[in-house]
Amino acid sequence: MSQQLSVKHLLGIKDLQVDDIRKIFATAANFKDVINRPIKKVPSLRDITVANLFFENSTRTRLSFELAEKRLSADIVNFSASSSSVSKGETLIDTVNNILAMKVDMVVMRHPKPGAAVFLARHVNAKIINAGDGTHEHPTQALLDAFSIAEKLGELKGVRVVIIGDILHSRVALSNIFCLKKMGAEVMVCGPVTLIPRYIADLGVIVEHDLKKALDWCDVANVLRIQLERQDIRYFPSLREYVMLYGINREILDSLKKDILVMHPGPINRGVELSSDAADSRQSIILQQVENGVAVRMAVLYLLAGQMD
Does the active-site annotation cover 60?
Answer: yes
Catalytic residue among 32, 62, 71, 138: 138
Find the distance separating the first CA and the last CA of the chain, reported in whole Å.
21
Contacting range for ligand CP; rule: CB under 6 A; set: 9-17, 38-46, 53-61, 79-87: 53-61
DSSP 163: E
8 Å CB contact between 129 and 61 = no
Catalytic one of 8, 14, 60, 181: 60
Contact between 132 and ligand CP per CB under 6 A: yes
Our finding on whether 170 is near ligand CP (CB under 6 A) is no
> Which residues, in sequence order, are CB contacts of 37 under 8 Å at separation 6+?
none
- Rule CB under 6 A: say whether 82 interacts with ligand CP: no
Among 44, 49, 61, 176, binds ligand CP (CB under 6 A): 61
Choice from 266, 269, 277, 306 touching ligand CP (CB under 6 A): 266
Rounded least distance, CB 130 to ligand CP, Å: 11
Segment near ligand CP (CB under 6 A); pick from 9-17, 84-92, 93-101, 263-271:
263-271
Which range touches ligand CP (CB under 6 A), out of 33-41, 81-89, 250-258, 262-270? 262-270
Name the residue nearer to ligand CP (CB basis): 44 or 149: 149
Binding segment for ligand CP (CB under 6 A), chosen from 22-30, 54-62, 100-108, 268-276, is: 54-62
Give, in degrees to the nearest 5, the angle at Cα 306 between 305 and 309. 80
Look up 138 and say whether it is catalytic: yes
Helix (H/G/I), strand (E/B), else coil: 133? strand
CA dist 51 and 100 (Å) reads 9
**Burial state string for 70-93 with b = 16 or more CB within 10 A and e = fewer than 16:** bbbebbbeebbbeeeebeeeeebe
Closest CA to 131 of 123, 143, 147, 149: 143
Examine residue 265 and tell whether it contacts ligand CP (CB under 6 A). Answer: yes
- Min. distance of Cβ 2 from ligand CP in angstroms? 30
Amino acid at 146: A
If one asks whether residue 148 binds ligand CP (CB under 6 A), the answer comes out as no
* Min dist. Cβ of residue 138 to ligand CP (A): 6
Residue in 61, 62, 71, 135 annotated catalytic:
61
Q: Are strands 160-164 and 186-190 parallel, antiparallel or unpaired?
A: parallel
Q: Does the protein bind ligand CP through residue 267 (CB under 6 A)? A: yes
DSSP conformation class of 85: G
Options 60, 113, 181, 250; binder of ligand CP; rule CB under 6 A: 60
Q: Which of 9, 32, 62, 110 is catalytic?
A: 110
Handedness of CA 196, 200, 201, 205 (dihedral sign): negative
User: Does the annotation mark 110 as catalytic?
Assistant: yes
* Residues binding ligand CP: number (CB under 6 A): 10
CB of 33 to ligand CP, least distance (A): 24
Per DSSP, 170 falls in state: -
Q: Tell how far CA 35 is from the center of its chain.
A: 20
Please say which residue, 49 or 227, places its beta carbon nearer to ligand CP.
227
Among 17, 36, 59, 82, binds ligand CP (CB under 6 A): 59
Active-site residue list: 60-61, 88, 110, 138
Contacts with ligand CP by CB under 6 A lie at: 58-61, 132, 138, 141, 265-267
